[in-house]
Amino acid sequence: MKLSLSQPTNQTLIKNEVSKFFKTIDPSIPILTETTNSYNVLQAGKFGQTYLSADKTNVVKVINLQPYLSEPASIVPIIIERMTSEVINYHKISEVCPEFFCKFIGYHYDPTEFYVAIKMEYCGKDLIEYYNEDILKNNNNKQHLKNILLQIAKALQCLHTNGYVHFDLKPDNITVSADGTVKLIDAGSLTKINDEQGIVCGTADYMAPELVGKLSVPKNNELKKTDIYSYGILVKNIYANVFNETYLNYILNERPPIEKIISILENNDNNIFNFLGGNKITRRRRYQKRSVRR
Ligand SMILES: Nc1ncnc2c1ncn2[C@@H]1O[C@H](COP(=O)(O)OP(=O)(O)OP(=O)(O)O)[C@@H](O)[C@H]1O
Ligand SMILES: [Mg+2]
């Protein structure tokens, strides 16, 4: 079939719709203008890369949208959902939870090259690197491990009380700075609890079992419980030998509210410990179900 010139191709349509979305973004969210710093690759991902500035103060995450162009036009809501998380929700959560979520600095959308760049503060090593390098060397320090878990739990509490779930909690998305401050990063899956639409996201090993193979995003407490499950897996994967089985099963099976997890850690309940040392952990890729809830 011959395509008439006035008929937009699938690719043009996708680009136009995404560009339209970027024009509607709240103008108070900072747009990046120039980059004076030089950058080195920090981590290479499937759709993009993160770069660390030479002065190690900030990170730029470049999300290449080009691969979406070979998809059908029905991909548009998925791209928009993803961009909403990465730009709008990221900006919002870094303002309401500055102690617990990485600081968002600004974004840049390039409609020609079809990519988005997001600049944020550098928050330190991710938990994979931190844990594998440092904790194993110092693996008899229960108080230190507990403090990291407490900070992660408090970060989740801040997200949940502000109406968001992280939806992709795992060691790769948690950072620890040189002074031991823990922050969550990666807003790619950040989801508003009360939104009518949402995409089921997560990382296979950390994803709540009720989400596997599902298209619909649960609501309210059920949605918060998916983060608690990921938290439980994280504790189990990293600290399997640190906490006893009863405690690990309690988190994974009961999925108590995050406040309960915080209070157990804060009350210094030594019954939860079973300290034998650590395991080495590995990176896991994010999974995204390509369908939108209606
Ligand atoms: N602000 C930051 N401070 C320190 N390290 C960071 C920061 N942002 C990203 N990183 C590092 O880069 C890695 C990848 O970044 P990020 O998690 O945002 O993207 P991704 O997981 O590749 O993308 P996706 O959203 O597709 O899952 C992180 O696991 C972490 O090691
Ligand atoms: Mg990530």
* Residues 141 and 87 occupy one common structural domain: no
Q: Is residue 4 part of a domain?
A: no
Looking at ligand 1, which residue's alpha carbon is closest to its atom 31?
126
Q: What predicted TM-score, i.e. pTM, was given to this entire model? A: 0.89
pLDDT tens, residue by residue, 205-230: 999 999 988 888 888 889 999 999 99
Looking at residue 294, what is its pLDDT?
43
pLDDT band at residue 4 under the 50/70/90 scheme: low
Domain range for 35: 10-121
User: Looking at 54-197, which runs of residues are DSSP E strands?
Assistant: 58-64, 104-110, 115-121, 125-126, 164-165, 174-176, 182-184, 191-192
* Residues 138 and 282 occupy one common structural domain: yes
* Residues 104 and 144 occupy one common structural domain: no
Query: Could you say which of 84, 103, 121 is where a domain stops?
Result: 121
Looking at ligand 1, which residue's alpha carbon is closest to its atom 18?
186
Q: What CATH number has the domain bearing residue 43?
A: 3.30.200.20
* Residues 147 and 262 occupy one common structural domain: yes
* Residues 82 and 181 occupy one common structural domain: no
Q: Is residue 154 part of a domain?
A: yes
Per DSSP, the residues of 189-225 read: T-EETT-S----EE-GGGS-GGGTT--SPP-HHHHHH
Residue 285 CA: nearest ligand 1 atom is: 27
pLDDT at 109 over 60: yes
Ligand 1 pocket at CB < 6 A: 42-43, 45, 47, 50, 59, 61, 102, 120, 122-123, 126, 172-173, 175, 185-186, 188, 286
* Residues 252 and 136 occupy one common structural domain: yes
CA atoms within 13 A on the CB side of 171: 21
Give how many domains the chain has, as a whole number: 2
In sequence order, what are the residues at sequence separation of 6 or more whose Cβ sits closer than 8 angstroms to the Cβ of residue 238?
Answer: 127, 131, 171, 278, 279, 281
Query: Could you say which of 66, 98, 121 is where a domain stops?
Result: 121
218-249 b/e (C-beta count within 10 Å ≥ 16 → b): beeeebbbbbbbbbbbbbbbbbeebbeeebbe
Q: Is residue 181 part of a domain?
A: yes
Nearest ligand to the C-alpha of residue 288? 1
Q: Is residue 202 part of a domain?
A: yes
Q: Is residue 72 part of a domain?
A: yes
pLDDT tens, residue by residue, 135-181: 556 555 677 788 899 999 999 999 999 999 999 999 999 999 999 99
pLDDT at 203 over 80: yes
Q: Which of 50, 149, 32, 48 is nearest to 91 (CA)?
A: 32
What is the whole-number distance in angstroms between the Cα of residue 101 and the centre of ligand 2?
A: 13
pLDDT band at residue 24 under the 50/70/90 scheme: very high
Query: Could you say which of 88, 104, 121 is where a domain stops?
Result: 121
* Residues 154 and 95 occupy one common structural domain: no
